[in-house]
Amino acid sequence: MIIDPTRSKKKGLTLIELLVTTAVLSILVLTVGYTFIIGLRLWNDGYDRSDIRTDLSQALELVSKNLRQAKSIDAITAGSITFTADLGDGDDTYRIYMYNASDTEPPPYKQNTYQLRRAKTTVTYGSGPVLIANVKKPNPPNAKPFSQSGNVITIDLVVERGDQTVAMRTNVRPRSL
């Protein structure tokens, strides 16, 4: 048997090759991990915005449905809509309005966030269930979340939760007016 002296040398990795390979793999793992974390954050942000959008959409849909059945619009201010409608139990007076316990009845809007409420019959400030919370005060301050142009009522709200903000506007044409 003939032994080739060039084949008998053991080949292996040097310390420098190991360090370079480890560094490249570390960079690759960190890049993939960072991309995954960013993706999760974007997913959560999208989920939060979707949750806010759903809540705001449901509140505006309820208000729109009630206003479409209005027989008369009794008053519209920058902070409320008062109307008479038959929502299933005879004619009653309803009020959709912005509420914050630390504020006198708006406007002017002095607090940063409000609740959108709907009161029935008793239309005192603070009564009625909350339709949606965390409604931002109008910006600029002279903007009106409730307005009327002809036979169309416009509701323009912005809801903020954490660092997520969603704005929605709806136009309602009451059927019985």
Pair 124, 138: CB distance under 8 Å: no
* Phi and psi, residue 29, nearest 5°: -65, -45
**C-alpha dihedral (117, 59, 88, 151), degrees to nearest 10:** 90
- Record the pTM: 0.76
| Chain segment 43-64, per-residue pLDDT in tens | 999 999 999 999 999 999 999 9
* Predicted local distance difference test score (pLDDT) of residue 132: 93
Average per-residue pLDDT for the chain: 87
* Predicted local distance difference test score (pLDDT) of residue 2: 65
- Residues 120 and 8: their CA atoms lie apart, in Å, by 96
Residues above pLDDT 70, as percent of the chain: 93
What one-character-per-residue DSSP string does 31-64 give?
Answer: HHHHHHHHHHHHHHHHHHHHHHHHHHHHHHHHHH
Beta strands in the chain (DSSP E): 70-76, 80-86, 91-99, 113-120, 130-136, 146-149, 152-161, 164-172
Residue 146 burial (10 A CB sphere; 0-12, 13-18, 19+): buried
* Predicted local distance difference test score (pLDDT) of residue 176: 74
Higher pLDDT, 42 or 6: 42
- Cα distances from 111 to residues 24, 116, 155, in angstroms, run 54, 14, 19
* Predicted local distance difference test score (pLDDT) of residue 27: 96
Q: Write b or e for each residue in 2-37: b if 16 or more Cβ atoms lie within 10 A of its Cβ, otherwise e.
A: eeeeeeeeeeeeeeeeeeeeeeeeeeeeeeeeeeee
Report the pLDDT averaged over residues 139-163: 86
